[in-house]
Amino acid sequence: MGIHIRKATIDDMSYIYQLVRELAVYEKEPDAVRTTIKDFESAFEDDIFDVLVAVADNRIVGMAIYYMTFSTWRGRCIYLEDFYVQPSMRRNGIGQSLFDAFIRECKAKNASSAKWQILNWNEPALAFYRKNKATLETNWWNGKLYF
């Protein structure tokens, strides 16, 4: 299977949006996505976030959505907002290729660290990140405000 990892374009936003919706279903939050494709397109055009996509057989089957942030303790940081490969395409090395490309992007942007969240029940994701030598912190809680 030929896999190609590339940066997303504005024309990819509807496919990326669909993958985000699939991820929400996988994470048992199917009604939590409040954004629209227009929100994605606007934020992407404003350079709010960037995306790497995995393409197989001329279709997008995986994505890594990320953006630059700043840690007062570590400096430049890239936050991995969503990382997803369609279930039917897993176990083909796509996730690893996508993650490796994400790490290269972090290094190219001189980031000192990358951060993301993992649901505590998502054993496949936990195993994947452990395999990649990630530090999994369990002592910090998430804080949020919705407007």
Domains of the chain (ranges plus CATH)? 3-131 (3.40.630.30)
Q: Is 129 a catalytic residue?
A: yes
pLDDT (tens digit per residue) in 95-145: 999 999 999 999 999 999 999 999 999 999 999 999 999 999 988 888 888
Q: Nearest 10 degrees: CA dihedral of 80, 5, 127, 107?
A: -50
pLDDT (tens digit per residue) in 33-69: 999 999 999 999 999 999 999 999 999 999 999 999 9
Q: Is 123 helix (H, G, I), strand (E, B) or coil?
A: helix
Global pTM reads 0.93
Selecting among 79, 84, 129, 146, the annotated active-site residue is 129
What amino acid is encoded at 24 in this protein?
A: A
DSSP 60: E
- Count Cβ atoms below 10 Å from residue 85 Cβ, excluding itself: 25
For residues 126 and 101, give the distance between their C-alpha atoms in angstroms, rounded to a whole number.
19
Q: Which residues contact 120 (CB under 8 A, 6 or more apart)?
A: 138
